Structure 1
Amino acid sequence: MPSSVPQPLPPLAAIRAFEAAARHQSFTRAGEELGMTQAAVSYQIRLLEDRVGVPLFRRRPRGVTLTADGARLAERAGEALEILRQAFAEARHQGDETLVISALATFAAHLLAPRLGHFQIAHPEVTTRVEVDHRLADLLAGEASVAIRAGLGEWPGLRADFLMPVRYTPMLSPSFVARHGLPATPAALSDLPLVDPDDPGWAQWFATAGAMAPTSVKGARSYLGTQLLAAQAVIAGQGAGLLTPVYFLDQLARDELIQPFGILAEDAISIWLVYPERRRNAPAVRAFRDWLLGEMRSLGMRGGPADGPAGDVRSSSS
């Protein structure tokens, strides 16, 4: 009859060293996080490899990489340590958690900020902090809890939930229309000043509309780099700008912006909610994910990317 006695666990210090080294793909950076030397991290991982009986890392002259066995163990070890952290927080009656949200500027300003209060009312135990930065936060190193990113939905070690496609169309301000008139056809935009005229999206939109893109720039050149700023330039009457309608529903309703055509161009990239695979079941992350996906459904944005079903979820842990 098989024994019901559980197998003894390896030392927790070895598991922590392994999990940190797997996350950073570096013994040195794991040591910096844990307050250990690189040699001490290496020693703990050797102890763990002796216990499991297989190599967990490939040692190379310029670093380390996980073996297939190591990658499988790293995922489960990360989940186990996350469960332990949450259990100790609850034992200390400190269930409150700060959810750091790294977000794209326009998404944060026009979709997230106006709605985030509803999430906080539903989840008073979660403190939220939104950070807007063009630099990608290192989620695996804990720089943020979750992030809203533009891309193809594939980031190593991160789980990605589809939020919305990137679609855009020209918009104008009433003051601009009063001076220049409302363009009767897409081709007529070629004769008007454009905000961020070197944006490759213009060529894509004109092609979608079946019109020739302008060969020369009318007015001053500019590069604002984000729709948040481009929209302000459009509202100020500086020219026609490419904007994503779902971001500017309020401005369109208040007639601060005018969308002259129903033609939308779609980018190859989409907007995704991403977070570490090992934290997918953390209470605050799970609550925010469920809430945000519900908000996107209410906006009609949860149709899924072009090559995936509705609610498509991609995970990459390579």
Structure 2
Amino acid sequence: MRLPPLKALPVFEAVARLNSFSQAAEELAITQSAVSHQIKQLETYLGERLFWRSGRTVTLTDEGRQYFDAIGTALMQIERASEQLLGHEESRIRLSVFSSFAVRWLVPRLPELQRLHPQIDLALEMSSENPVLSDRVADCFITIHTAPPAYSYELLYTERLFPVCSQDYWQRIRRELGRDVEPEGWGEKPLSPEDVARFPLLSTHSIFDKAAGDWQAWYRDVNAPLPPGARVQHFSHMLLALEAARFHQGIALTNDYMLSTRKDSEDFVRLPTHSVVTGDKFYFAWKTSRRQERGIQTLRRWLVDEAIRGGLRGE
């Protein structure tokens, strides 16, 4: 078996993760010159430059990034295998997750995860966009993309959008549409797209990455254009649009996980009208080479069970 200088591998991993020779030296409790020596020795063995250095700035070369993806995973597998044999049951897992999914669905459920699996030490990395799937970012991910072939994917949720407003605003809608004379909830007639357009529409830009894209898709689902006279108020993220709806500013499009857990979900009314499937699917993703890691598989099973129990996913 022909192996590289093994002492250099943890040093390389630390420099690549921290983007700093000095921080790597501090973390490993060695001198900065020792770090430089180990990296030079590894580069000589491989015949490739692993880092670009410009003053105090250190960045991985393309070859270095490719090597780090493989070496980082291998070192973590060695560490976890050793911990299991030593009887250390705690599993430290970094999970990268969308901010809205984390705040509205995952975080309220974490006490149950801690109760059932106290050995899992979960660190959340919140992202506003789809993260790059890499061990440098996290150990596992909740993502809507399934392109990287080195990863495995488990479906959690197929997104659909439906209109909601506050309880007070719903009473206003009923009054203005002349429905307040009917008993609440009794024989509730569906709202037409024309009815909905009479009120301010709170739009989330990040869903379709364009202004009013969510409402355009909602109207397109019934073969109708967004009415030219519609009053659209724009927000970057669904969390903001939902907060505006809570404070009686209009009608927002939201999805199942945003209202599935929090007690404040009772502040909202789901309007009696159609929903639209966005085409986005939320997956739990983990590196296939790490499929035997007990902590990742425990987290995967728990997430799937919670998605089924909460109605996001079928059995």
**TM-score for both structures, normalised by structure 1:** 0.69
For the structure 1 residues 43 and 248, does the alpha-carbon distance in structure 2 shift closer, same or farther, using more than 3 Å as the test?
same
Partner of 2:139: 145
- The aligned amino acid for 2:231 is K
Could you tell me how far 1:180 is from its partner in structure 2? 2.6
Q: Residue deviations 1:248-290, cap 9 Å, x none?
A: 14679847322321x2222233222234454443322221112
State whether residues 17 and 30 of structure 1, in contact with CA within 8 Å, keep that contact through their aligned partners in structure 2.
Answer: no
State whether residues 94 and 140 of structure 2, in contact with CA within 8 Å, keep that contact through their aligned partners in structure 1.
Answer: yes
- The aligned amino acid for 1:222 is H
For the structure 1 residues 94 and 216, does the alpha-carbon distance in structure 2 shift closer, same or farther, using more than 3 Å as the test?
same
Partner of 1:193: 200
Q: Residue deviations 1:114-162, cap 9 Å, x none?
A: 322222122111122334342666663544333323x332248654433
What does 1:127-206 align with in structure 2 at a 5 Å threshold?
A: 127-134=121-128, 140=134, 142-149=136-143, 151-155=144-148, 158-181=151-174, 184-196=191-203, 198-206=211-219
Q: 1:112 aligns with which of 98, 103, 106?
A: 106
What does 1:201-212 align with in structure 2 at a 5 Å threshold?
A: 201-212=214-225
What does 1:120-131 align with in structure 2 at a 5 Å threshold?
A: 120-131=114-125
Cα distance between partner residues in 1 of 2:225 and 2:148: 36
Cα distance between partner residues in 2 of 1:43 and 1:253: 58
Per mean C-alpha deviation after superposition, the further-off stretch among 203-212 and 74-83 is: 74-83
Q: Residue deviations 1:199-251, cap 9 Å, x none?
A: 301100101023221213427x331x232232222222211110113431467
- The aligned amino acid for 2:89 is G
| Equivalent position SS for 1:106 | helix
The answer to whether the aligner puts 1:267 opposite 2:261 as a matched pair is no
Matched length = 281
Unmatched runs of 5 consecutive residues or more in structure 1: 1-6, 50-54, 304-309, 311-318
Cα distance between partner residues in 2 of 1:138 and 1:276: 12
| Equivalent position SS for 2:93 | strand
For the structure 1 residues 81 and 30, does the alpha-carbon distance in structure 2 shift closer, same or farther, using more than 3 Å as the test?
farther
What does 1:40-51 align with in structure 2 at a 5 Å threshold?
A: 40-41=38-39, 43-47=41-45, 49=46
State whether residues 102 and 147 of structure 1, in contact with CA within 8 Å, keep that contact through their aligned partners in structure 2.
Answer: yes
Cα distance between partner residues in 2 of 1:237 and 1:16: 55
What does 1:1-318 align with in structure 2 at a 5 Å threshold?
A: 7=1, 9-13=3-7, 16=10, 29=19, 35=25, 40-41=38-39, 43-47=41-45, 49=46, 64-66=61-63, 78-90=72-84, 94-134=88-128, 140=134, 142-149=136-143, 151-155=144-148, 158-181=151-174, 184-196=191-203, 198-218=211-231, 221-223=233-235, 225-249=236-260, 254=266, 256-261=268-273, 263-302=274-313
Cα distance between partner residues in 1 of 2:23 and 2:303: 31
| Equivalent position SS for 1:257 | strand
- The aligned amino acid for 1:185 is S
State whether residues 195 and 234 of structure 1, in contact with CA within 8 Å, keep that contact through their aligned partners in structure 2.
Answer: yes
For the structure 1 residues 277 and 84, does the alpha-carbon distance in structure 2 shift closer, same or farther, using more than 3 Å as the test?
same
State whether residues 102 and 133 of structure 1, in contact with CA within 8 Å, keep that contact through their aligned partners in structure 2.
Answer: yes
| Equivalent position SS for 2:269 | coil
Cα distance between partner residues in 1 of 2:69 and 2:172: 60
- The aligned amino acid for 1:170 is P
Per mean C-alpha deviation after superposition, the further-off stretch among 265-274 and 247-256 is: 247-256
| Equivalent position SS for 2:221 | helix
Aligned Cα root-mean-square deviation (Å): 4.1
For the structure 1 residues 17 and 81, does the alpha-carbon distance in structure 2 shift closer, same or farther, using more than 3 Å as the test?
same
| Equivalent position SS for 2:301 | helix
Unmatched runs of 5 consecutive residues or more in structure 2: 26-33, 53-58, 178-189, 205-210
State whether residues 151 and 285 of structure 2, in contact with CA within 8 Å, keep that contact through their aligned partners in structure 1.
Answer: yes
State whether residues 205 and 265 of structure 1, in contact with CA within 8 Å, keep that contact through their aligned partners in structure 2.
Answer: yes
